[in-house]
Structure 1
Amino acid sequence: MNIKVLILALLVALITSQQYSISQCDCSQLLSEDDCQKNDMIKCQWDSTKKTCKIQDTTTNPVINYAKYCDNFKEMECPKQKPCSNCGSYSACAWVDGQCTFFTDCTAFNKTTDSDCQAISNKCITDGTHCVEIDTCDKYKKQQSCVKSLFGSLCYWDTKNNNCVDADTCDKLPIKFQTDKECRHEIQSCTAKSGGGCVDSGVNCSDQSLEIQCVWDQSMKMECYWNGTQCKDRICDNAPTTLNTDDSCQLFKTDGSCTTKQNGGCITRTTCQAASIQAACIKNSTNEDCYWTGTTCVDKICSNAPTTLTTNSACAAFSKGCITKQGGGCVLNGDCSAANISTACVKNINNFDCIWEFNLQRENMCKCSKIQYYS
C-alpha cells in the first residue's frame, strides 16, 4: 500500500513539473511557424523574414481627440486650415450645425453655393449639388466647380469634350475679364479683347489694335501709349505736345526720366545744362537740383548762386552747406578759412565756432576759435 502511494505522489510531481515547464516557455523557443501562431499562453508572432518566433508587438499609436481640439473654437475662430503637423486625415476643423468640429470630407455636405461650402471648410467648393474638395482642374466633374485649381490657377470647361482642363491659353480665360491687367495676371502674354475675355498680345506696342490693349508689349518690357488713333511705345519723344510742365512729363513716364521741352511735349532728362527752358530746369537725371539763372539752366551749387545773396542764411537757403563770400554770391563751407569776409566767418562745416582775425600787418582771415564750449 505504501508503495502505491509513493508511486502516485511521484507521478503527480512529474505532471506538475511538465506543466510548469510549458507555461514558462518563451517565444524564441518555438521553432515552427505553426507552434508560434498557436501559442495562446503567451502572445507570439512569426517573423517570416528571419524565420523566428518573437513576442508580439502590442504598441499602438496614441489616439488624439481632434474633435475635442476643434470644440474649443467659436465660429470666427474655427481653424479651417490644418491645425497641426501630425493631424493625419484630420486636416482641419469645420463649422457645421452651429459648432466647430473636425473636418472629414467635403462631399458629406449638400450645399449649392461656394459660400455655403466655404463656411464649412475652406477646402470645399460646390459642384451645384454638394460640396467637393478644391483639387486640380482635371478632377472636377461638373462645370460649376470648374473655376480654380488647388494651386490657385484658373480652370476651363471644355464643352466639346465635356471636361475640366487648365486655363493655359488666352482663349480659355474667363469672358468676364475686361482689362489687360486681368488677362496678364493669369498669363503674361495675354491682353484684353473687345466684348470681354483675352487674346494673345501683340509683340510690340504698335501691334496692339485696340486702346484697351495698349498697356504693354507682349514681354511687358515696354509700356505702351495710345495717342488717340494708334498704340505707341511710351517714351519721352512720343508724349503729346499738350504736356508743358516737368510734373506732367513725370506723370507720362512714371520713372521720372522725362522733362518738358520748348513748345510742349517731353524729352529725356539728362543734365541741367541741357534744359533749354525754365519749366524743364528742375532736376537732372541723377535727381540733383537745377537753377535757372534767367537765361540758362545750371547745377544748383554754391558757386552758381547769384551775387544778390549776401548773408549766410540766404546762401544756406539756396543750397545746403553754402556761406556768403566777398562781392556777393556763395561758396561751399569747409574749414574756417573758407570764409573770406567777416560776415561769413561764423562756423565751419563741422559747426565749430570761427573767429575773424583783424591784423594791420597782414591779411585779415577767418580762423577756428581757440576756445570751444561744450554743453
Structure 2
Amino acid sequence: MLLLVAICTVGNAYFVPNVQCACQQIITEQECNNWNCQWAVVSPATATTKATGYCQQVPCGDLNQTQCLKESYRCYYQESTQQAAIVCFTLAKCEDIQLAAGATCQSSNPSCVPSNLQKPQCIAAGLSCKNLTTIEQCQPAKGQTLADEGLCYWNGSCKVVSQCGDIATQNQCQLRQFQFACYWTGTKCSPTTCQQLSQENCKYVLQSPLTGAGVQPCNYIGTTCVDAPVGSLTQSTCSANTNSHYRWVPIESGGICAQCNPFKYVYRNQCECQQLLQQNECQSSGNCKWAVTTGTTYACQSLACADYLVQQQCAQVKGCYWNAAGTPQCTAYSSCSEIAGKNGQACVTLSIFCPGSNGTTCLSQVSLNSCSSITTPNICYNSIGKDGYCTYEPGSKACVNITSCSNLMTRQLCDQFSNSCIWKTGTSASCQVKTCSEYLTESSCTYIQNNINNNVLNICTWNPDTKKCNSFDNSFSYDVNSCFSSTGRTHHWSEPSNAQKGLCLPCHYSSVLNVKSNCSCKELTNYTDCALSSPKCYWNAGNSQCENQKCSQLTSQTQCILSKYCYWSNSLGCQATGSSTVTCSQLSANTQQECLSQSIICAGISGGKCSSSLNNCSDFSTFYQCFGSVGTDGICQWNQASSKCQGISNCNMINTQAQCELVLNTCYWDASANGTCSSYNCTSLYTQTKSCNFYLSTPNQNYKVNSCYLTNGTCTSAPNLESLTSSTCYASTGGTARWDSGEKNGTCVMCYSQIISVLFIILSYMF
C-alpha cells in the first residue's frame, strides 16, 4: 500500500501555494508558540529523558477581537461589557450568532451576513460576492464581508476585490485584509512587492487580494527587502516569511524549511514521461523534457536529479533526494538506506519515497513501522506508518493510524487531506468524505482522492447544463489539446502528433488476458456473486435471478466497456454488441488501448480497425503501439536496440514500473528490491493491495489463477475451491468460479461457460 503523493513541480520556485500549516504540523516548540498555536507538554523532561509535546491550536476562547476575526472559519466575536469576559467563541454556523445592540453579522464574523428575512438572522456569505443582493450584505457600515472567494465591495452590485486596482479609497486599501497584497501610492491602490517593504515588515507579499492567493517570501539583504527562495529561509524566518505555509524540519546538517501542504499532487495513476507522445503534453509536465533520442527523433524523457534545483521539487522525484550536507543539491540514490535521517519527518523532507527511519538512515515505504511504534507526539502528527497516515490522540496519548476522514477531529487536521476530506459545519461539525459534488464552480471542479490511504486520483467533470460537478465518465470528450491537462495528468493522447489520429486514454490501467472460463449471468445463483459481476450482470429482485445488464442502463464509458455485451460510441453512448467479429470491425483504432476503450471484447488491431483476435507483440511496429499492449506472447515491451516489439513472459523481464503494473494481480513493482518487477504470491498481494483474492502465475496466456483467502489477518493460498466461502468464491477466483448452494451447505465450483478466446478486464480506476 503506497501512500505518499508528491507535489507538482510546475511553476516558479519562489512561489508558495496558499495552503497553510496546521499547528500540529509544526515540529519545533520555538516555531509553534504564537497567537494561533501553543505548545502542549505531554511528558516533562526528567534527568534521563527529554520533554515531549506537540503544537496545538489556541482555542477561540483565548483569542482577542483582532485575532478572533482573523479566524473567521472557526470563531466569531461577541461584544461584552465585562472586562475579563470571553469575547471569542467557537463557530458552528452563522445562524448561531446572537447580535448585541448596534452590532452587525460581519462585525462578529466577516464570513456571516444578514439574511433578507423580515426577522433577519446571520447566514453564511457563501461562495461568491455576486450572490449578495444588498449593500448591507455586501459592504456594511460596520465590518467587512468576506465571501469564500475574497473581500466584497459594492459598486451598483456586489463584486469581489480581485485586484488592488478595484479598491478606490485609501482607507479600504489599508484594511488589514490587504496588508500584504496592496499599498496606497498616494493616488491609487497598487500591488505590493517585497522591494516596497520596510525592514520591520519584510516577511512576505500576497500575489493578489483574493482568497487563496499565493505567497512570495521576502528577505532583508543589506538595505533592501528582496524576493527570497524558500531555501534561503532559516528556522526563525521559515514560518513567518511564508505566512505559515512552511515549517522548519530539523535534520542532521541543521534543518530545512519544508512545505506543509502540497497544493497539487502527482498520483500513482498519473502519466510517466515515456507515455507522453505529444510534445505539448511532455513540456507541460514538470518532470519531463522533450529531447533527442537518436538522430532527429524526439521523445519525452525524465529529467535527471541534477536538473532539480529546489528541495521541494527534488524530494518528490523517485530516485532523487535532497542532499543538504555541504552545498545542498539534488542527488540520485538507489536505496533509501543511503540517505541519513534520524526520524521519518526528516527523511520524507529529503525524499517522499523514503518516509521512514530506523533512527540513523531512511526507510522505504514498504519498510515502514506502524503508527503505534511512534512515541513522540510532534513526530507522530507528521509521519506515515505501514498502516497509513498517523495522528496523535491526546486522550489516550497514543499514535494511531488515520483510517477515514471521520478520524480527523478539527478543521485544521481535516484540511490537511483536502483532496479526500471536507469539513462540514452545522449542528455537528465534522470531517467527511469529499465528493465531486462539493465543488461549486467550473474552475474548482478538478479531482478528488476518494480514500486517504490510496493515492489514486479520481477526476471530476463539470456539466454545463446542470452547472454541477460530477464524477468523470468519458475520456473521449477531450481533444488532443485538453486531454492531458483536463484529466489531472492521468490521461494522454494515444498517438504522436504525426499520426493525425488518436483518442484520450488513461496512462495506467490493468488487464487480465484470455480468461479461460467465465461465469455467465444465469449461472450466478448467489446474490453476492451476481453483485460482484457488475456491470455485466445485475440481480433481478422480482425473480431472484442474475441477469444480463442492459446496455442502455450503463450511462458511463467506464461501465459500458466493462460489459462484454456492450460497446461505447461517443455519439450514441452505450450500445449492444452484435457478434464480436462484426462489432470490432466497425470500431476505428490504431492501438490496442484505443480498441479496449470502446469494447472489452476487441483487443486486436487490423488495418486501422479493431479485431476480436489478439495480435502478437511483433505485429506492433511502433513504440506507441507496443507500449502498454498485451499480445498472445505476453506483455509487449519495446526493444530500443532492435526497434522491435517483443513479448515478455515473466515479471522479472519487465524493466519499467508502468508495464509491470499493467496486468491485473500478476506483477508488482518492488521498491524494496531497488525497483524490480516481481511476481505476486498471496502474502505480497495483501501487502501491496490490501486485497486477498487471487493472483495470476505469469503475465501471459499460460497463466494459472491462484486463489487466496484471509485467515486471522494473514493472506494465504487456498488449498482448493472447497476452502472458499460464499462470500469469497467468486472474488478469490477472478470470476471463474461461483457458489453453488444446491449441494450440502453449499460449495464453490468452477463455471463451465464457453471458453472466451480473448477477454480483457480493465479496472475501474482506468477512467
Q: Is the strand fraction higher in 1 or 2?
A: 2
TM, length-normalised to structure 1: 0.34
Q: Is the helix fraction higher in 1 or 2?
A: 1
